[in-house]
Structure 1
Amino acid sequence: MTSHYFDPDPNTPSRTATVPLLLPDLHLTLTTDRGVFSPDRIDLGTRILLETVPPPPDRGTLLDLGCGYGPIALTLARRAPHATVVGVDTNRRALALARHNAEANAVPNVRFLPAPGPGETPDPLLRGPFAALWSNPPIRIGKQALHTLLATWLSRLEAGAHAHLVVQKNLGADSLHRWLEESGHPTERVASRAGYRILRTTRQP
């Protein structure tokens, strides 16, 4: 059976590697592995998000939804050292890598937690409210599952807080934009580059 990056326990044989994350304001070396999202390089959409989005709030709790091995969460934590950053994912292999990467890169203000399943009580840090949400969301889980996922976590933003999402145009960025609007999440496209859209949605009071 084929393993996916959003599976809780990928059955793909492990083969670790390292990838650099080079941005104007930081340099991280991240350990990756097979069975997680984009193990061979920092995904282009993730890079565009990190190069495009304004600095995060410097206080509060910040969320990386679908954190993988940690590039977005670790960038948030470096850019907002007085905030608490939470990375959440279903993939336990990815979470273990993210925790290793936080320690290896000396980033203390970040925690990586498993996404709670149906009926499970979430860790208190996952209940919000969140001062910001950044995500390269798992589009390939399917439209309905994605909509449910986003509706759940966007509802945990503070009033007036922003979520920034990067979505590839040919994987449904524009239809997701419409769905967000129709679902009561005012959304604007704040950047478009290399076939990716950066969408910003704001939690209403």
Structure 2
Amino acid sequence: MAQHYFDSDPDAASRPSTADLVLPDLHLRLHTDRGVFSPDKVDLGTRVLLESVPAPPAEGRLLDLGCGYGPISLTMASRAPGAQVLGVDVNARAVGLARRNAAEHDLRNARFAVVAPEGGLAAEGGEGPAPAAEDLLGPFDAIWSNPPIRVGKNVLHSMLRTWLNRLTPEGVAHLVVQRHLGSDSLQKWLDAQGLPAERVASRAGFRVLAVRKAH
């Protein structure tokens, strides 16, 4: 059976590589590997998100949902050194890489956890300490995510309901979604879930949505 980056334990043979994250305020060389999302380069959607979002809260708890090998989490950690950043992913190989990347760039305010699709702590993988299960419950002052659209609507919707409802009352999530992969229909679905979404950027076929909890 074909392996995907959203498999919990991809069995693709390891082929370590690196990818450069180059932003106006940041340049990080990140370790990558086969079996994780976009191992050859930081994908365009992630870069659109990171070049479009406002600065994260300077303090508080920040979440990267579907962290992969860590480009979004580590940008948050670098831009908000006084905040605590949590990156979560179902892919144990990706989480191990994210921990390695955080350690090599001395971004000690970033931690990572392997999670189950329904949002709880899963079996551990990779090096480094895991956050406690209660740390996953938030509440989070900001969530940034390039969500795994290709997992299918049922899994995606369940994941987004779980994590977006862990925002603080004033918290904002920023999601990047390709237009042709359903960004407009996702925006309508979020609105119907009591998670009002607003398109705040559009570039290169990607939409950036700002999502809040209805009050």
Give your verdict on TM over 0.5: yes
Q: 1:193 to 1:117 in 2, by over 3 A?
A: closer
Alpha-carbon contact 2:70-2:101 (below 8 Å) kept: yes
1:112 corresponds to: 112
**TM-score, normalised with respect to structure 2:** 0.92
Indicate conservation of the 8 Å contact 2:190/2:196, yes or no.
Answer: yes
Q: Is the 8 A contact 1:85 1:111 kept in 2?
A: yes
Q: Which residue of 2 aligns with 1:168?
A: 178
- Count of residue pairs brought into register by the alignment: 205
Instruction: Give, as a single letter, the amino acid of the residue that structure 1 aligns with 2:156.
Output: L
Give the Cα separation in 2 of the matches to 1:119 and 1:179. 20
Matched, 1:89 2:89: yes
Identify the residue that residue 188 of structure 1 maps to in structure 2.
198
- Residue 124 of structure 1 is matched in structure 2 by 134
TM-fit CA distance, 1:116: 3.6
Q: 2:163 aligns with which of 153, 162, 175?
A: 153
Match of 1:25 in 2: 25
Distance 2:119 2:199 in 1: 34
After superposition, the Cα gap between the structure-2 partners of 1:10 and 1:85, relative to the gap in structure 1 and judged at 3 Å, is same
Q: Which stretches of structure 1, 4 residues or more, deviate above 2 A after TM superposition?
A: 116-122
* SS, match of residue 85 in structure 2: strand
SS at match of 1:145: helix
Provide structure 2 residue ranges, at least 5 long, that are not aligned to the other structure.
Answer: 122-131
Judged with a 3 Å threshold, the aligned counterparts in structure 2 of structure 1 residues 92 and 40 are, in CA distance, closer, same or farther, namely: same
Is this contact kept in 1: 2:137–2:166, CA < 8 A? yes
Indicate the residue corresponding to 2:15 in structure 1.
Answer: 15
CA contact (8 A) 2:21 2:42 kept: yes
Alpha-carbon contact 1:133-1:162 (below 8 Å) kept: yes
Give the structure 2 partner of residue 100 of structure 1. Answer: 100
CA RMSD in angstroms comes to 1.3
Contact 1:70 1:98 in 2 (8 A): yes
- 2:119/2:163 contact within 8 Å kept: no
Q: Secondary structure at the match of 1:3?
A: coil
2:126 corresponding residue in structure 1: none
| Structure 1: runs of 5 or more not aligned | none
The DSSP-based 3-state class of the residue aligned with 2:97 is helix
Q: Using the TM superposition, give the Cα deviation of residue 45 of structure 1 relative to its aligned residue in structure 2, in angstroms.
A: 0.2
Q: What is the CA distance between 1:204 and its match in structure 2?
A: 2.9
